[in-house]
Amino acid sequence: MVTMTKHQDLKSIYFLRGLTDEEIAKLEPLCKEEILEVGTLCQNEGVPVNRVNFIVKGKVGVEFHVPGIFQHGNDFILYTLDEGGVFGWSALIKDTPWSSMRVIERTTVWWVDAQALLDLCEQNNHLGYVLMKNLCSLVATRLRRNRMATLNAIAAIR
């Protein structure tokens, strides 16, 4: 079994690509590890969050609520995020999450307080630029993914 360090874990996160080793080293002390158990609701749509979560191991599902459509529950998994993924990013734009997230496989995350991350971005222009560029790419990707997953779900219901 290979044991990775926090630095190696963080370098494997897609959202952090483009950061230098020195910038990752500045981020490391801000990150805290948490293990999330299967079934845990780790983000709730419309409930403000104050942390950004980097998935090191495991899988979480993006739940979608469709009122009145299903007979045995109105929530289903729209798509999943696994190793290298990020959730809670809406805290970086002072917004509430657009979706709920439920743990599908036991998941290890490194999480960082959103304000501490924003402060680090203010202190280091390159780090801030890279993260905000990656955030824009992430938001665009999620919008496309949500659109396609929603259209596929609608087609499956019909």
Residue-wise pLDDT tens digits, 103-137: 999 999 999 999 999 999 999 999 999 999 999 99
pTM for this predicted structure? 0.85
Residue 106 domain flag: yes
CATH, residue 145:
2.60.120.10
Residue 1 domain flag: no
Q: Which domain holds residue 144?
A: 6-157
Stronger pLDDT, 129 or 64, i.e. the higher one: 129
Residue 20 domain flag: yes
Number of structural domains found in the chain:
1
- Going by pLDDT thresholds of 50, 70 and 90, the confidence category of residue 46 is confident
Given a cut of 80, is residue 87 above it in pLDDT?
A: yes
Given a cut of 80, is residue 3 above it in pLDDT?
A: no
DSSP-assigned letters across all residues of the chain: -PPPPHHHHHHT-GGGTT--HHHHHHHGGGEEEEEE-TT-EEE-TTS---EEEEEEEEEEEEEEE-TTT-SS-SEEEEEEEETT-EE-GGGGGT---SSEEEEEEEEEEEEEEHHHHHHHHHH-HHHHHHHHHHHHHHHHHHHHHHHHHHHHHHHHH-
Residue 15 domain flag: yes
